[in-house]
Amino acid sequence: MMDEFGFGLEQVIFKDRVCRVCNKKKNLLEDFYLTRKDRKGYPSAYSYECKICTIKRITFKRKNKKINNWEYPDW
């Protein structure tokens, strides 16, 4: 569908995005998480960190979480 300016809607909507962590160009719809579910279809509704980098970040933080062994003080 072409408009009066000579380009269609599919040329305006971003299909690729560069991940801020790994700096690789990836598909916006398949490789990035949707952060705002009410704005489906807008490029601003997707995160700037790809799914693979997000999974790596979460698993790394969960594995390296320090367990605090709290005890009652001795009176």
Q: What is the pLDDT of residue 1?
A: 47
Q: What's the rounded Cα separation, in Å, for the pair 2 and 13?
A: 14
Q: What's the rounded Cα separation, in Å, for the pair 56 and 53?
A: 5
Tokens of residue 52, six digits: 């693979």
pLDDT in tens, the chain (75 residues): 445 555 555 555 568 899 999 999 999 888 989 888 787 767 788 889 999 999 999 999 888 777 777 788 877
Q: Is the pTM of this model over 0.95?
A: no
Do the bridges between strand 32-34 and strand 16-18 make them parallel or antiparallel, or are there none, so unpaired?
unpaired
